[in-house]
Amino acid sequence: MKLYEKIIATYNGLVDVPSSDPDDARRRKLLNIILVGMMAVAGILILAITVLLLLFAFNPNEAVLPIIASVATMIGVSIFYLINRWWSGRVASVSFLFFLMFVITLSDSPAELANGRSVFLFAIPIVVASVLIGSTSTFVFYILCSIEIIILVLYAGKPAGAAVFPVVSFLFLALISWLSSRSLEQALKDLRIININLDNLVTERTQALSESLTRERIEAGRNQAILNSIADGVIVFNAENSSILANPALSELIKTPSDELTAISLNEFVHTADLSGTNQKMIRELIEQPERSESGVRVEWGKKSLSVGVARVQDTATRENIGAVAVFRDVTREAELEKMKENFVAVVSHELRTPLNALMGLTEMLQEGIYGAMNEKQVSITERLMTNITRLLSMVGDLLDEAQIGAGKLSINPQVFKTGSLLENLHSTMDKIAADKGLALSSNLDPAMPENIVGDHQRLQQILINLVNNAIKFTEKGGVHVSILREDPHHWKIEVTDTGIGIAENEIPYIFETFRQASNTAMRTRQHGGFGLGLSIVKQLVEIMNGRITVASQTEQGSTFTVLLPLETAQY
Amino acid sequence: MTKNFALVIEDDPDLSDIFSKALQTAGFEVEAIRDGRIAEKRLQEIVPTVIVIDLHLPHVDGVTLLKQINENEKFEKTRVIITTADNVQAEIYRNLATIVMVKPISFGQLRDISARLKIA
């Protein structure tokens, strides 16, 4: 195989002619093939004659002519080869053809050549010219051959009419050669055009591909740079919940090397000693079901507080779900500040309570006459002292509650209590306050309510008192009505209705916010007293009890606050 | 020692006065102590009918005292009233006392409640 390839390579090196014109190269190669072939035939002939001479020892005189002819052919062919190879294909071809005609002229008697057995030899230059020089050159050699035939006819002493048959026949041959050569040239030309077009197309496509690859690389690089420079930790999971991308901020945030954050499953991601079981579950659910989650869920990851937001990633074209992206923000500092604030509020309220308690007790002792009877003025003063102390105490209590709810420290202590006691206690606390303002405080208890229910009595009482207190605060005339009703077999509700100033529709969404009162101006807050914590605490307490608070109101028409709670009855 | 003896353990002087006065008004002979360590010693000597105890005390805190009281059989009949401003702690130590009162505690409230704990 190697040898065969070597021979082919040598042969190609021998016949190929480098040329910028592909037609020229093709023609010169063709001439070379013919020349090399002739050279080989001459070589073989000389070799054969030599062998015959040695083996059979026939008359050497008979061998002289073929040997001379062979050697002459080899010399001539070499000259044409050199011209063709190093100078001009056209010159080599034309001279080769003339040489061919010369050889033909000498090959037989003029009579046989004119229209005898050897006339067909003239077909060779006519046909070969069309492929070696060009389609039209076939006519040139046709004319030359025709002239030579006519001369030979006349030279042989034959009538001129004897030349008609070969001349007409060769005309047809020349025509056929011309046509076939022309169509071959045309076909090759077409092929070359097609090739060039194909080359251009390939170049264009390659160029476009490389450009788009470059663009994509730049784009990807830019996206990566953006991702890398985001301060928040970002991780992307595909639809199979395997991570496909994580930025350095996340790796820094959760103290995990970047390479351990990509191509890991969601389970592997959350399964870490830095996360409590609850938080692991929470993050897993968030990423699996992003549409159910609210933004900014807090988790404790190691020593850090992180806020997690998860969004579904959809294919922009098909809207198909292709995964989820989770963003982790470090809120440790905020969480600390919040905790400090809560602690501060708790400590301050706690410390305020002791002296307030002393004030209350001492005032009470005066009122009780422990230190002797008081005159009318003194009684009035101690009453006013008591009212102000109570107000202060209730505000401090609100602050403490708010701080405890915020810190998640407030727990519910369910116990069995008499449903009616809520209203009894309400009246004993609030009747005087309502009466002082000239308002009627009325109530009713749904007979469908069980006599005893389970709940945090103290906190339920607080909810009721806060709501009634709020109603009295914002009512100038009329009254406040409280109902305890059975909503359905599993729920009960407290309704507090007043005939007060009501709440404008656009303010309703805000009334349960901390430190907020409707028509939220500082003046209003002062006018109505308190921190505006009452409703916020009520709402938070209701929510801790798995209940819901709603409000229906119209400006100047009064308001109705409804607290809906799950109904639990004593098991015994 | 008289039949109805009350020990008030409260570090705030004003509250200590108020609580003592409320218990006296209810008919108790009252002794007030403002320091945990002193109270610890005193409790080795006496068995009060009622102990009013704050959870925040200097040197020895109220919870330690409460545990000692609960573990000592001689206080089996002693009624304990915890007074605290912290309602979370109030819940935690509820089972260490007869009654838990969350501050603010009114004079009248303590007087009426303690009156019911008197031995006839």
pLDDT at A524: 44
Q: Which of A362, A404, A409 sits opposite B14 (nearest CB)?
A: A362
Residue A330 carries which DSSP code? E
- Are B15 and A362 a contacting pair at CB < 8 A? no
- Are B106 and A365 a contacting pair at CB < 8 A? no
- What is the C-alpha separation between A324 and A388, in angstroms, rounded? 57
- What is the C-alpha separation between A424 and A430, in angstroms, rounded? 10
Q: Which of B85, B88, B107 sits opposite A353 (nearest CB)?
A: B85
Sign of CA dihedral B65, B69, B71, B74: positive
Establish how many alpha carbons lie within 13 A of residue A54's alpha carbon, considering only the half-sphere containing its beta carbon: 6
Which residue is closest to B13 within chain A, CA to CA? A358
Contact A538, A546 (CB under 8 A): no
Phi, psi of A108 (to 5 degrees): -150, 180
Q: How far off is chain B from A462, nearest CA to CA, in Å?
A: 14
Parallel, antiparallel or unpaired: strands A548-554 and A558-566: antiparallel
User: Which residues in A lie closer than 8 A to residue B54 (C-beta atoms)?
Assistant: none
Output the DSSP codes for A488-526: ETTEEEEEEEE-S----GGGGGGTTSTT--SS--HHHHH
- What is the C-alpha separation between A482 and A419, in angstroms, rounded? 13
Average pLDDT over all residues of chain B: 89
Of A97-111, A216-230, B27-41, which has the strongest mean pLDDT? B27-41
- Are A353 and B14 a contacting pair at CB < 8 A? no
The continuous run of DSSP H or E covering A99 comes out as helix A89-107
Which residue is closest to A396 within chain B, CA to CA? B104
Which residues share a beta bridge with A330? Answer: A306
pLDDT at A209: 93
pLDDT at A24: 85
Distances (CA, A) of A135 to A88, A174, A443: 18, 9, 121
Question: Residue A50's pLDDT band (boundaries 50, 70, 90)?
Answer: confident
- Are B12 and A365 a contacting pair at CB < 8 A? no
User: Which residues in A lie closer than 8 A to residue B14 (C-beta atoms)?
Assistant: 355, 358, 361-362
The pLDDT tens digits for A375-434 are: 999 999 998 898 888 888 888 888 777 777 776 767 787 888 889 988 998 888 888 888
Tokens representing A202 are: 């390939």
- Are A357 and B85 a contacting pair at CB < 8 A? yes
Residue A369 carries which DSSP code? T
**What is the predicted ipTM?**
0.87
pLDDT at A443: 92
* Beta-carbon contacts of residue A427 (< 8 Å; ≥ 6 apart): A441, A443
Question: Residue B102's pLDDT band (boundaries 50, 70, 90)?
Answer: confident
The continuous run of DSSP H or E covering A22 comes out as helix A22-56
User: Which residues in A lie closer than 8 A to residue B87 (C-beta atoms)?
Assistant: 404
Which residue is closest to A363 within chain B, CA to CA? B107
pLDDT at A525: 44
Least confident of A284-298, B4-18, B45-59: A284-298
Q: What is the pLDDT averaged over residues A18-26?
A: 82
pLDDT at A515: 61
- Are B104 and A353 a contacting pair at CB < 8 A? yes
User: Which residues in B lie closer than 8 A to residue A409 (C-beta atoms)?
Assistant: 88
Residue A545 has pLDDT above 80, yes or no: yes
| Relative orientation angle of helices A89-107 and A22-56, to the nearest 10 degrees | 40
Distances (CA, A) of A212 to A168, A177, A205, A218, A224: 65, 52, 10, 10, 18
Residue A527 has pLDDT above 70, yes or no: no
B21: how many CB neighbours lie within 10 A of its CB?
A: 23
pLDDT at A256: 86
pLDDT at A18: 80
A26: how many CB neighbours lie within 10 A of its CB?
A: 17
Mutate to test the interface with B, among A364, A388, A456 (most CBs of B within 10 A): A364
**Closest by alpha carbon to A308, among A288, A285, A283?**
A283
User: Which residues in A lie closer than 8 A to residue B25 (C-beta atoms)?
Assistant: 368, 370
Which residue is closest to B18 within chain A, CA to CA? A361
To which residue do tokens 């080795």 refer? B44
Question: Residue A89's pLDDT band (boundaries 50, 70, 90)?
Answer: confident
- Are A358 and B86 a contacting pair at CB < 8 A? no
- Are B15 and A354 a contacting pair at CB < 8 A? yes
Of A15-19, A58-62, A423-427, which has the strongest mean pLDDT? A423-427
A534: how many CB neighbours lie within 10 A of its CB?
A: 24
Residue A438 carries which DSSP code? T
Mutate to test the interface with A, among B84, B93, B107, B110 (most CBs of A within 10 A): B107
Q: How far off is chain B from A393, nearest CA to CA, in Å?
A: 8
Q: How far off is chain B from A254, nearest CA to CA, in Å?
A: 34
The pLDDT tens digits for A307-362 are: 888 888 888 888 888 888 889 988 888 888 878 877 777 777 778 888 889 999 99
pLDDT at A494: 92
Q: Which of B12, B21, B104 sits opposite A365 (nearest CB)?
A: B21
Question: Residue A541's pLDDT band (boundaries 50, 70, 90)?
Answer: confident
User: Which residues in A lie closer than 8 A to residue B89 (C-beta atoms)?
Assistant: none
pLDDT at A58: 66
Q: Work out the percent of chain A whose per-residue pLDDT is above 70.
A: 94
Q: How far off is chain A from B74, nearest CA to CA, in Å?
A: 31
In three-state secondary structure terms, A388 is helix
Q: Which of B21, B91, B103 sits opposite A353 (nearest CB)?
A: B103
pLDDT at B2: 54
pLDDT at A71: 85
The pLDDT tens digits for A441-482 are: 999 999 989 888 898 888 898 899 889 988 888 888 888 999
The pLDDT tens digits for A266-279 are: 888 888 888 888 88
Residue A265 carries which DSSP code? B
Q: How far off is chain B from A506, nearest CA to CA, in Å?
A: 37
Q: How far off is chain B from A370, nearest CA to CA, in Å?
A: 8
User: Which residues in A lie closer than 8 A to residue B103 (C-beta atoms)?
Assistant: 353-354, 357
Question: Residue B19's pLDDT band (boundaries 50, 70, 90)?
Answer: very high
- Are A411 and B103 a contacting pair at CB < 8 A? no
- Are B15 and A413 a contacting pair at CB < 8 A? no
Mutate to test the interface with A, among B16, B17, B21, B111 (most CBs of A within 10 A): B21
Q: Work out the percent of chain A whose per-residue pLDDT is above 90.
A: 15
The pLDDT tens digits for A185-232 are: 899 889 989 999 999 999 999 999 999 999 988 888 888 888 888 888
Parallel, antiparallel or unpaired: strands A297-301 and A304-314: antiparallel
- Are A361 and B85 a contacting pair at CB < 8 A? no
**Closest by alpha carbon to A461, among A424, A498, A416, A407?**
A424
Residue A104 has pLDDT above 70, yes or no: yes
Contact B25, B92 (CB under 8 A): no
Q: Which of A360, A404, A413 sits opposite B106 (nearest CB)?
A: A360
Average pLDDT over all residues of chain A: 84
- What is the C-alpha separation between B104 and B109, in angstroms, rounded? 10
